[in-house]
Amino acid sequence: MNFMKGLASILMALIFSGVPAFAAPTTISDPVMIVAGVLRHFVERQSSGDSYEPPEDIYTPRLGKLIRDDKKQAKGEVGCLGFVFWVNGQDWTITKLDVKSGPASQDREIVIARFLNIGTPEEIHFDFRRIAGRWLLDDVQSVKEPRWTLSEILKCPH
């Protein structure tokens, strides 16, 4: 009888361990490391052609709402954001990746990513804010032509 209870407990633990509702939120202790890590995932997948979806819980409430609203309005089609903002393109072959900390304060940090994407120089600034003790991504800007700001793209008329 004790064996059956133990087996049932193990099975329930395994079943519930994969339930996203119980997953711990992504912890960002260093904004530079999260940007570098996400971009490395894209690099790792570029030869296989597989896509990568960064964690969805790394955005400030403001940016998260804009992203969710864009996906909802798109109804499975391409929304206002028609490219992967992390790599500034629909396709990517990332080389010469360099990720560094830019201007920072106690509750704000800009992470600067420079790389070549299919041979084109890119410089993308990731604006992180500390909210309730958590670092969260608040906006993204490409400073090379054509320039763009993620939050502005996501405000397009649907």
Model pLDDT, residue 74: 72
pLDDT at 51: 78
pLDDT tens for 125-152 read: 999 999 999 999 999 999 999 999 999 9
Residue 28, pLDDT score: 85
Q: In what order do the strands lie in the sheet with 134-142?
A: 94-104, 108-117, 120-131, 134-142, 148-149
Q: Are 124 and 94 in contact (CB under 8 A)?
A: no
Residue ranges and CATH numbers for the domains of the chain are 27-153 (3.10.450.50)
- The pair phi, psi for residue 68, each rounded to 5°, is -60, -45
The CA-atom distances, in angstroms, between 26 and each of 13, 57, 62, 83, 152 are 21, 6, 17, 24, 25
pLDDT, position 13? 42
CA angle 147/69/101 to nearest 5° reads 45
* pTM attached to this predicted model: 0.81
Cβ neighbours, 10 Å, residue 45: 13
Report residues of the chain scoring pLDDT below 70.
1-24, 157-158
What's the mean per-residue pLDDT of the chain?
85
- Listed in sequence order, the residues at least 6 apart from 43 whose beta carbon sits closer than 8 Å to its beta carbon are 94, 97
> Given this model, what pLDDT does residue 156 score?
84
Distance of CA 142 to the CA centre of its chain: 15
- Predicted local distance difference test score (pLDDT) of residue 50: 79
Please provide the DSSP assignment of 26-49 as one string: PP-S-HHHHHHHHHHHHHHHHTTT
